Amino acid sequence: MQANYDHEQLIDFIEGDLPPEGMARVDAMLASDPKLRRLIEAMKADRKALRSMPHEPVPVPVVDDLLVGMERQMLLGEAPVDEATDPIEVAAQRHRMRIGPRLLRVASYTGIAAALAFAASVVIIMLTESSLLEEADPELWGNGPAVTNATESADAKEAERLALADLDKIDMAARDALSAIGSGDTAAAPMDTLARADDRAFADPLVEAAESETTLNAAQVAGGPGQFALSLPDRDQTNVQIEVISDNAAETTRELHTWFARNDVQIVSADDALIGFGQSDFRLAEADSARADDDGKLASAKRAEMDAYHLEPGDTVFCVVIDNEQVPELMSYMNRSRDGRQTANIIQSQQPQRLALAEVKRAVDHAQRGQAAAPGAAAGLGRDHTSIASKAQPSEPASVVRPAAPSEQSHESEAGLAKDGGLAPSVARELEPSAMPDFADDSVALEDDGTFARRQAVDAVAKNDGNSNDRGLMAKQERAAELADATQETARQAPVDSRASAQVADMEAADASDSPNVLPEAATDRMKSDDLFLAEVNAFDWGSVLGNQLPLASSTPLVLSDRGRVVLPVVIRESRVAGRARLVEPADASTPAPNAALEVIEEPAPAE
């Protein structure tokens, strides 16, 4: 095609370098050849886009490093490396020459490390073999191994102690962080330890899944010692539910926790909560039983579960996600008799059901449509299926407690979702109203001061900036922004007990926006490191959408806000939200990190 044309003329046309008559001539030529016209137009678009590419900052101060290195060498007065006489050139050459010794040094260190690793592995193999032999025939070893046993035992106990202390530390850090954030003291949040908690509980599988974007689990929601986890077990992992028999629960639980810590097994549910474990299991701790008994549904669910698993009151159940290859080892460990009695059993073991990303998205779409059809439904639910708000404002910590009644609204959407045949049955079941935990009784509206509504409205307007033909919609959005402003003003002026009215205005504002909550892109420097966020997500998809990307930071109880959303503390790691996340403008630019930035992980599906 293009071979028949004059390349130079075409490139001049693309570059806009032709005189008017030349441009007209090429225009006429392109009019007669639609294929070429498309190509040239695409090339022009490429050129325009390329020219708009921003210059990226230099990640390391190359020049400064270079000059400092050269200056140091000049000051050290090392001998010239060759015949060069120019001091700058000599210093540059010296600097370069130092790369060689540095490489040699690195190589030698690597060699030493490899030798040490090899020696260590030999020692470990020898120890393992001696241990196996000892188990095979202790009599062969006489008195000698007794010393080894004592040493090993002491080591093992020390390792256990350290592992448990580590877990406790992480747990405490997570609680402290949440507590600090709740009280507005963001600086006190021990983020380093939280990051470690995150590393412990959410290793490669989560990252891989987030990156591959191909498969997602059905809701996998659980809590552990130190972290609540919306976990995403790998394909090669199995969920295991373990029952610890009540008469020796504390000791056995301690033993198991130690074993899990030593084998790097992720505990995904503590004994006080078991939600959405592949299926819709739901269990409350004894401490919550009284309250749960008020709700016949929960009590019956609990009784049914206990009956199904032959649990006695006081028995505890917890869950782990374990590598498939570790399952036999776990079973062997579990079956080991302790003091002649069986104290723990595996009561359920299953590989997680996986759900295609497309299905999750479809679920969200359906929920959105269901929401749109539900008159008077709460703002946000199902419309913006995942939105995240910065909640902990140092000046005004979120504090409103009100009896929220989101369940009807939630269930309208969820029921529509469950009826749809396109969903995987497990997901449909999870999204059934009956399968959802009913938070209505103990829900706490962790509401902000109107900032969120303002943001929603402003964002909605922003979204339509580029497509503002719909004047009615624009008017609505402007009204929403005004309402949100009024809400903020009211919230500022009103004492805490009148926040409820502000919330109503807030919801009206969000309703009036009548547009998906698309958050604007901005604030480029915030997402440089892990940060702790409070995330507000719709109740029905918190496990299936959010959970696959954002690990939660703490076992702090989940809180249901009004509008049927769950507020979650999450640790967001930049590496884990790549491609799915967009950084958005903090509600208040003066609010310090880690709460300042907002994050959305999944954009709403485009309207059909």
Partner 1 sequence: MTDRMTQADDSDLVALVQAGDSAALGPLLRLHERRLFNVSLRMVSHREDAAEVLQEAMLKIIQNVASFRGDARFSTWSTRIVMNQAISHLRKRKLRKTTSLEASSNGSEDDDGPGSMLRHRLADHAEPGPVSRVEHSEMIEQLRAALARIDEQFRAVIVLRDLEGHDYHQVAEALEIPLGTVKSRLFRARLALRQEMERLDRGPAAVPASTDAQEARR
CB of 174 to partner 1, least distance (A): 24
Q: 205 with 285: CB under 8 angstroms?
A: no
- Residue with Cβ nearer partner 1 (209 or 431): 209
Per-residue CA distances from 558 to 62, 78, 534, 597 (Å): 47, 64, 11, 21
Q: Which stretch binds partner 1 (CB under 8 A): 55-63, 144-152, 352-360, 439-447?
A: 55-63
Q: What is the C-alpha to C-alpha distance for residues 324 and 233, in angstroms, rounded to an integer?
A: 11
In sequence order, the β-bridge partners of residue 277 are 220
Work out whether 102 is an interface residue with partner 1 (CB under 8 A). Answer: no
Q: 14 with 43: CB under 8 angstroms?
A: yes
Work out whether 163 is an interface residue with partner 1 (CB under 8 A). Answer: no
CB of 358 to partner 1, least distance (A): 15
Work out whether 76 is an interface residue with partner 1 (CB under 8 A). Answer: no
Work out whether 578 is an interface residue with partner 1 (CB under 8 A). Answer: yes
Tokens of 299: 């009590």
Here's the x/- map for partner 1, 202-241, by CB under 8 A: it reads as -----x--xx------------------------------
Work out whether 33 is an interface residue with partner 1 (CB under 8 A). Answer: no
Helix (H) or strand (E) holding 99: helix 87-136
Q: Which stretch binds partner 1 (CB under 8 A): 63-71, 221-229, 438-446, 556-564?
A: 63-71
CB of 313 to partner 1, least distance (A): 46
Q: What share of the chain is helix, strand, coil (3-state, %, to 5)?
A: 55, 15, 30
CB of 561 to partner 1, least distance (A): 25
CB of 83 to partner 1, least distance (A): 13
Which are the contacts of 483, defined by CB distance < 8 A and separation ≥ 6? 453, 457, 505, 508, 509, 512
Q: 117 with 110: CB under 8 angstroms?
A: no
Choice from 484, 530, 582, 602 touching partner 1 (CB under 8 A): 582
- Residue with Cβ nearer partner 1 (57 or 376): 57
Using N-to-C axis directions, what is the helix angle for 499-513 and 451-463, rounded to 10°?
10
- Residue with Cβ nearer partner 1 (130 or 464): 464
Q: 595 with 392: CB under 8 angstroms?
A: yes
Q: 599 with 579: CB under 8 angstroms?
A: no
Q: 418 with 383: CB under 8 angstroms?
A: no
Q: What is the C-alpha to C-alpha distance for residues 453 and 439, in angstroms, rounded to an integer?
A: 23
Choice from 82, 83, 86, 497 touching partner 1 (CB under 8 A): 86
Choice from 4, 20, 58, 328 touching partner 1 (CB under 8 A): 58
CB of 47 to partner 1, least distance (A): 6
CB of 378 to partner 1, least distance (A): 24
Q: What is the C-alpha to C-alpha distance for residues 128 and 530, in angstroms, rounded to an integer?
A: 39
Q: Please report, as ranges, the residues that interact with partner 1 according to CB under 8 A.
A: 2, 7-8, 10-12, 14, 39, 42-43, 45-47, 49-60, 62-67, 70, 86-89, 92-93, 95-96, 207, 210-211, 459, 462-463, 465-467, 518, 520-522, 524, 527, 574-579, 581-583
